[in-house]
Amino acid sequence: MVWTTNRIVALILGIVFTLAGIAGFFVSSSMTPGSLLGLDVDIVHNIVHFATGIIALIAVFAGKARLFNQAFGIVYLLIGLAALIPALYIGNMFLGMMHLNAADHVFHLVVGAVAAFTGFAARDTATMPTTPIPAA
Protein backbone atom coordinates (compact mmCIF):
# COMPACT_ATOMS: atom_id res chain seq x y z
CA MET A 1 0.00 0.00 0.00
CA VAL A 2 1.54 3.26 -1.15
CA TRP A 3 0.95 6.27 1.10
CA THR A 4 0.39 9.28 -1.13
CA THR A 5 -0.44 12.82 -0.07
CA ASN A 6 -4.04 12.20 -1.14
CA ARG A 7 -4.30 9.08 1.01
CA ILE A 8 -2.84 10.82 4.05
CA VAL A 9 -5.17 13.83 3.73
CA ALA A 10 -8.22 11.59 3.17
CA LEU A 11 -7.19 9.46 6.17
CA ILE A 12 -6.91 12.54 8.39
CA LEU A 13 -10.29 13.82 7.15
CA GLY A 14 -11.81 10.39 7.68
CA ILE A 15 -10.58 10.14 11.25
CA VAL A 16 -11.54 13.73 12.12
CA PHE A 17 -15.03 13.53 10.61
CA THR A 18 -15.78 10.09 12.07
CA LEU A 19 -14.72 11.21 15.55
CA ALA A 20 -16.60 14.52 15.17
CA GLY A 21 -19.73 12.62 14.17
CA ILE A 22 -19.45 10.33 17.19
CA ALA A 23 -18.56 13.15 19.62
CA GLY A 24 -21.45 15.22 18.30
CA PHE A 25 -23.94 12.62 19.56
CA PHE A 26 -22.69 13.23 23.11
CA VAL A 27 -23.40 16.95 22.70
CA SER A 28 -26.70 16.75 20.83
CA SER A 29 -28.60 13.62 19.89
CA SER A 30 -31.69 15.52 18.73
CA MET A 31 -32.51 18.47 16.50
CA THR A 32 -31.71 20.80 19.40
CA PRO A 33 -28.37 22.41 18.52
CA GLY A 34 -25.34 21.74 20.65
CA SER A 35 -21.80 23.08 20.45
CA LEU A 36 -18.75 20.95 19.66
CA LEU A 37 -15.54 23.01 19.77
CA GLY A 38 -17.56 26.07 18.76
CA LEU A 39 -19.32 24.33 15.86
CA ASP A 40 -23.10 23.89 15.86
CA VAL A 41 -24.13 20.24 15.80
CA ASP A 42 -27.44 18.42 15.77
CA ILE A 43 -28.44 14.87 14.89
CA VAL A 44 -28.46 15.48 11.10
CA HIS A 45 -25.10 17.25 11.26
CA ASN A 46 -23.66 14.37 13.32
CA ILE A 47 -24.91 11.77 10.84
CA VAL A 48 -23.47 13.75 7.90
CA HIS A 49 -20.08 14.08 9.60
CA PHE A 50 -20.00 10.41 10.60
CA ALA A 51 -21.01 9.24 7.11
CA THR A 52 -18.44 11.55 5.51
CA GLY A 53 -15.73 10.13 7.76
CA ILE A 54 -16.64 6.53 7.00
CA ILE A 55 -16.73 7.24 3.24
CA ALA A 56 -13.29 8.85 3.52
CA LEU A 57 -11.86 5.83 5.33
CA ILE A 58 -13.34 3.46 2.76
CA ALA A 59 -11.85 5.59 -0.03
CA VAL A 60 -8.43 5.50 1.64
CA PHE A 61 -8.31 1.71 1.74
CA ALA A 62 -10.06 1.21 -1.62
CA GLY A 63 -7.45 3.29 -3.45
CA LYS A 64 -9.87 6.13 -4.23
CA ALA A 65 -8.45 8.82 -1.94
CA ARG A 66 -7.75 11.29 -4.74
CA LEU A 67 -11.30 10.99 -6.09
CA PHE A 68 -12.65 11.39 -2.56
CA ASN A 69 -10.58 14.53 -1.96
CA GLN A 70 -11.74 16.03 -5.25
CA ALA A 71 -15.44 15.29 -4.66
CA PHE A 72 -15.36 16.11 -0.93
CA GLY A 73 -13.47 19.34 -1.62
CA ILE A 74 -15.98 20.54 -4.21
CA VAL A 75 -19.01 19.55 -2.12
CA TYR A 76 -17.73 21.14 1.09
CA LEU A 77 -16.65 24.32 -0.71
CA LEU A 78 -20.14 24.57 -2.22
CA ILE A 79 -21.75 23.94 1.18
CA GLY A 80 -19.50 26.56 2.77
CA LEU A 81 -20.38 29.13 0.11
CA ALA A 82 -24.09 28.29 0.01
CA ALA A 83 -24.30 28.53 3.80
CA LEU A 84 -23.36 32.21 3.51
CA ILE A 85 -26.64 32.94 1.67
CA PRO A 86 -29.31 33.94 4.23
CA ALA A 87 -32.18 32.98 1.90
CA LEU A 88 -31.16 29.31 2.21
CA TYR A 89 -32.07 29.22 5.90
CA ILE A 90 -35.53 27.93 6.75
CA GLY A 91 -36.59 28.12 10.39
CA ASN A 92 -33.06 29.01 11.52
CA MET A 93 -31.64 25.88 9.83
CA PHE A 94 -29.59 25.58 6.63
CA LEU A 95 -31.97 24.27 3.94
CA GLY A 96 -34.33 23.49 6.81
CA MET A 97 -32.13 20.50 7.70
CA MET A 98 -29.31 21.40 10.09
CA HIS A 99 -27.98 24.13 12.33
CA LEU A 100 -24.86 26.00 11.19
CA ASN A 101 -22.93 28.95 12.57
CA ALA A 102 -20.04 31.11 11.36
CA ALA A 103 -17.47 28.64 12.71
CA ASP A 104 -19.12 25.88 10.65
CA HIS A 105 -18.86 28.03 7.51
CA VAL A 106 -15.16 28.68 8.05
CA PHE A 107 -14.54 25.01 8.87
CA HIS A 108 -16.38 23.80 5.74
CA LEU A 109 -14.54 26.29 3.52
CA VAL A 110 -11.12 25.43 4.95
CA VAL A 111 -11.47 21.64 4.82
CA GLY A 112 -13.09 21.89 1.40
CA ALA A 113 -10.22 24.01 0.10
CA VAL A 114 -7.57 21.70 1.57
CA ALA A 115 -9.24 18.58 0.16
CA ALA A 116 -9.87 20.13 -3.27
CA PHE A 117 -6.34 21.49 -3.53
CA THR A 118 -4.88 18.15 -2.50
CA GLY A 119 -7.17 16.19 -4.81
CA PHE A 120 -6.49 18.31 -7.86
CA ALA A 121 -2.90 19.46 -7.28
CA ALA A 122 -1.09 16.63 -5.50
CA ARG A 123 0.29 13.84 -7.63
CA ASP A 124 -0.36 10.29 -6.58
CA THR A 125 3.26 9.50 -5.88
CA ALA A 126 4.54 7.92 -2.71
CA THR A 127 5.53 10.27 0.09
CA MET A 128 8.28 7.84 1.11
CA PRO A 129 10.14 5.19 -0.83
CA THR A 130 8.20 1.93 -0.73
CA THR A 131 11.28 -0.19 -1.36
CA PRO A 132 14.50 -0.07 0.62
CA ILE A 133 17.34 1.94 -0.87
CA PRO A 134 20.33 -0.36 -1.44
CA ALA A 135 23.38 0.39 0.66
CA ALA A 136 26.40 1.67 -1.25
pLDDT in tens, 8-61: 999 999 999 999 889 888 877 666 666 676 677 778 888 988 999 999 999 999
pTM higher than 0.75, yes or no?
A: yes
Residue 93's nearest CA partner among 135, 49, 32, 21 is 32
- 87 assigned to some structural domain: yes
Average pLDDT, the chain: 83
Number of domains in the chain: 1
Strand partners, 36: 39
- 135 assigned to some structural domain: no
Which residue segment(s) compose the domain that 114 sits in? 5-121
